[in-house]
Amino acid sequence: MGWSISDYSKDDCKIVYIDIVSIDSTFESFIDKYIVNICFRDSAFSIKKAKKYIRDFIDTKDPDRKKGIVAEFFLHLYLNSIKMEQECLFKNLEENSPKKGFDGVYRDSDQNIWFIESKSGSAGSCSHKGKVQEAYRDLKDKFSSTTPNDPWLNAYNHLKIINPSDSLLDKFRTLSDDYDSGKVVDITEYNIGPCGTVYDDMGTKYVAELLGDSLIKYFEGKDFHKLFSICVTQRAISEFEEYLGK
């Protein structure tokens, strides 16, 4: 298939490395299995509609925004494929705008909640580790109630659409009140997923094991309950756009 995946773990820290090389027919069929759920969280919609939904979303003159959207999509694809439950919508509630809270909220098979943050950039101007570090700092800011937008209210509004009776809504409502009062939320009580995507069309070879070891060392002594970091090398954005147009 069009991507290869490896992972490295130590204690409560797990690093996953994904190299997306191409979008072949097998990978297209794989994406087809999840694209509707990622976009709408409702299987009644068609794959064709989901493709148009994303195509319209990335129809932007800002190349950095396009890369950010595609990076988030492939994180959602991976998380859906390992049977984590998506507790957020792909886009923000305002039409065609990026999310103003967490880039992803997920529930694992043990009912643990994970908060995902995605950062991306181009090879030559950034590294996987640098983008993961940036995502971690962003998560720290959100838990510290220092961001201009309330991430908990955003998470609440997304989940209310997906499952209006979910008991997690009460937790998000309380955390939103804490944000309004400037109260710092203790990040060591929460599971986080800082993720970094590097766009590389130069064929650079990255040593996944070295990257995993480096990030595990970086996160030693950092604040979190459990951490699940995904590093992606994206080499097939043009092929993905072609797939969306089929």
With contact defined as beta carbons under 8 Å apart, do 213 and 8 qualify? Answer: yes
The model's pLDDT over 135-192, given as tens digits with 9 standing for 90+, comes to: 999 999 999 999 999 999 999 999 999 999 999 999 999 999 999 999 999 999 999 9
Q: What is the mean pLDDT of residues 33-38?
A: 97
With contact defined as beta carbons under 8 Å apart, do 162 and 195 qualify? Answer: no
Percent pLDDT > 70 in the chain is 97
What pLDDT does 97 receive? Answer: 55
Find residue 234's DSSP bridge partners. 20, 199
Percent pLDDT > 90 in the chain is 91
What pLDDT does 96 receive? Answer: 53
The model's pLDDT over 97-114, given as tens digits with 9 standing for 90+, comes to: 555 699 999 999 999 999
First to last CA, the chain: 19
pLDDT band at 45 (very low <50, low <70, confident <90, very high): very high
The model's pLDDT over 226-242, given as tens digits with 9 standing for 90+, comes to: 999 999 999 999 999 99
pLDDT at 65 over 60: yes
Q: How far apart are CA 169 and CA 174, in angstroms?
A: 9
Check residues 95 and 215 and name the one with the higher pLDDT. Answer: 215
Hey, what are 157's tokens?
Answer: 């509004």
Those residues whose C-beta lies under 8 Å from the C-beta of residue 190, and which sit 6 or more positions away, are 113, 115, 143, 224, 225
Those residues whose C-beta lies under 8 Å from the C-beta of residue 210, and which sit 6 or more positions away, are none
Those residues whose C-beta lies under 8 Å from the C-beta of residue 26, and which sit 6 or more positions away, are 1, 2
**92-116 per-residue burial string, b: 16 or more CB within 10 A, e: under 16:** beeeeeebbbbbbbbebeeeebbbb
pLDDT at 94 over 60: no
Q: How far apart are CA 231 and CA 226, in angstroms?
A: 17
Q: How far apart are CA 175 and CA 38, in angstroms?
A: 25
What pLDDT does 92 receive? Answer: 72
What pLDDT does 59 receive? Answer: 87
What pLDDT does 99 receive? Answer: 59
Q: How far apart are CA 198 and CA 124, in angstroms?
A: 9
What pLDDT does 190 receive? Answer: 98
Count the helices and strands in the chain (H runs, E runs): 8, 7
**H-only helix segments in 144-236:** 151-162, 168-180, 208-219
The model's pLDDT over 7-24, given as tens digits with 9 standing for 90+, comes to: 999 999 999 999 999 999
CA within 13 Å, CB half, 112: 13
What pLDDT does 61 receive? Answer: 72
Number of residues assigned to the chain: 246
